[in-house]
Chains A and B, each alone.
Chain A
Amino acid sequence: MRTQTSALRSKDLLGIESLTPEEISLILDTAEGFKEVSERPVKKVPALRGQLVINLFMEASTRTRVSFEIAEKRLSADTLNFAASGSAVEKGETLIDTAQNLMAMRPDMIVIRHKHPGSPKMLADLLPASVINAGDGAHEHPTQALLDAFTIRERLGRLAGVNVSIIGDISFSRVVRSNIHLLTKMKANVTLAGPPTLIPAEIERMGVRVVHSLDEALEGADVVMMLRIQLERQGKLSFPSLREYFNTFGLTAERLGRARDGVLVMHPGPMNRGVEISSDVADGPFSVILEQVTNGVAVRMAVLYLLAGAHLAEHQG
Chain B
Amino acid sequence: MKTKKKLLDGVRMRRAIHRMAIEIVERNRGTEDLIIIGIRSRGVPLAERIAQRIEEVEGTAVPVGILDITLYRDDLTTIAPQPVVKPTKLPEPIDDKIVVLVDDVLYTGRTVRAALDALIDFGRPRAVQLAVLVDRGHRELPIHADVVGKTVPTDREEVIKVKLEEMDGEDEILIQERIEEK
Question: In the bound complex, do residue A316 and residue B87 qualify as a contact, i.e. CB atoms below 8 Å apart?
Answer: no
How far, in angstroms, from A313 to B78 measured CA to CA in the complex?
Answer: 9
Question: In the bound complex, do residue A3 and residue B87 qualify as a contact, i.e. CB atoms below 8 Å apart?
Answer: no
Question: In the bound complex, do residue A41 and residue B83 qualify as a contact, i.e. CB atoms below 8 Å apart?
Answer: no
Give the nearest-CB partner of B41 in chain A: A2
How far, in angstroms, from A179 to B103 measured CA to CA in the complex?
Answer: 41
Question: In the bound complex, do residue A42 and residue B122 qualify as a contact, i.e. CB atoms below 8 Å apart?
Answer: yes
Question: In the bound complex, do residue B85 and residue A7 qualify as a contact, i.e. CB atoms below 8 Å apart?
Answer: no
Interface digits, B11-40 against A, CB 8 Å rule (1 contact, 0 not)? 000000000000000000000000000000
Query: Which listed residue (B85, B111, B114, B117) contacts A30, Cβ 8 A?
Result: B85
- Contacts A36-B88, A46-B117 given: A6-B81 contact, CB under 8 Å? yes
Question: In the bound complex, do residue B71 and residue A3 qualify as a contact, i.e. CB atoms below 8 Å apart?
Answer: no
Q: CB-CB < 8 A to A308: which residues of B?
A: 77, 82
Q: CB-CB < 8 A to A30: which residues of B?
A: 84-85
CB of B135 within 8 Å of the partner chain: no
How far, in angstroms, from A40 to B89 measured CA to CA in the complex?
Answer: 10
Question: In the bound complex, do residue B121 and residue A305 qualify as a contact, i.e. CB atoms below 8 Å apart?
Answer: no
CB of A44 within 8 Å of the partner chain: yes
Question: In the bound complex, do residue B79 and residue A3 qualify as a contact, i.e. CB atoms below 8 Å apart?
Answer: yes
| Nearest CB of chain B from residue A109's CB, rounded to whole Å | 13
Interface digits, A186-227 against B, CB 8 Å rule (1 contact, 0 not)? 000000000000000000000000000000000000000000
Q: CB-CB < 8 A to A2: which residues of B?
A: 41, 83
Question: In the bound complex, do residue B121 and residue A44 qualify as a contact, i.e. CB atoms below 8 Å apart?
Answer: yes
Which of A5, A46, A305 has the largest number of chain B CB atoms within 10 A?
Answer: A46
Give the nearest-CB partner of A50 in chain B: B77
Question: In the bound complex, do residue A5 and residue B83 qualify as a contact, i.e. CB atoms below 8 Å apart?
Answer: yes
How far, in angstroms, from A272 to B45 measured CA to CA in the complex?
Answer: 50
How far, in angstroms, from A35 to B87 measured CA to CA in the complex?
Answer: 8
Q: CB-CB < 8 A to A313: which residues of B?
A: 80-81
- Contacts A36-B88, A45-B72 given: A5-B81 contact, CB under 8 Å? yes
Taking CB atoms and an 8 Å cut-off, the chain A residues in 279-317 that contact chain B are 302, 305-306, 308-310, 312-313, 316
CB of B110 within 8 Å of the partner chain: yes
CB of B163 within 8 Å of the partner chain: no
| Nearest CB of chain B from residue A187's CB, rounded to whole Å | 23
CB of A29 within 8 Å of the partner chain: yes
Which of B78, B84, B110, B118 has the largest number of chain A CB atoms within 10 A?
Answer: B84
Q: CB-CB < 8 A to B80: which residues of A?
A: 7, 309-310, 312-313, 316
CB of A78 within 8 Å of the partner chain: no
Question: In the bound complex, do residue B68 and residue A33 qualify as a contact, i.e. CB atoms below 8 Å apart?
Answer: yes
Give the nearest-CB partner of B85 in chain A: A33
Q: CB-CB < 8 A to B152: which residues of A?
A: none
Taking CB atoms and an 8 Å cut-off, the chain B residues in 78-130 that contact chain A are 78-89, 108, 110-111, 114, 117-118, 121-123
Taking CB atoms and an 8 Å cut-off, the chain A residues in 1-46 that contact chain B are 1-8, 26, 29-30, 32-37, 40-42, 44-46
CB of B73 within 8 Å of the partner chain: yes
How far, in angstroms, from A40 to B68 measured CA to CA in the complex?
Answer: 13
Query: Which listed residue (B71, B87, B111) contacts A1, Cβ 8 A?
Result: B111
- Contacts A1-B110, A1-B111, A40-B122 given: A32-B81 contact, CB under 8 Å? no
CB of B75 within 8 Å of the partner chain: yes
Question: In the bound complex, do residue A34 and residue B85 qualify as a contact, i.e. CB atoms below 8 Å apart?
Answer: yes
**Which residues on A are within 8 Å of B, measured CB to CB?**
1-8, 26, 29-30, 32-37, 40-42, 44-47, 50-51, 75, 302, 305-306, 308-310, 312-313, 316
Q: Name 20 A/B residue pairs within 8 A (Cβ), A-sorted.
A: A1-B75, A1-B110, A4-B41, A5-B81, A6-B84, A8-B81, A30-B84, A32-B87, A33-B84, A34-B85, A36-B88, A40-B88, A41-B123, A42-B122, A46-B117, A47-B72, A50-B77, A309-B80, A310-B81, A312-B77
8 tightest Cβ-Cβ pairs between the two chains A and B = A7-B81, A309-B82, A33-B85, A313-B80, A45-B71, A36-B87, A312-B80, A42-B121
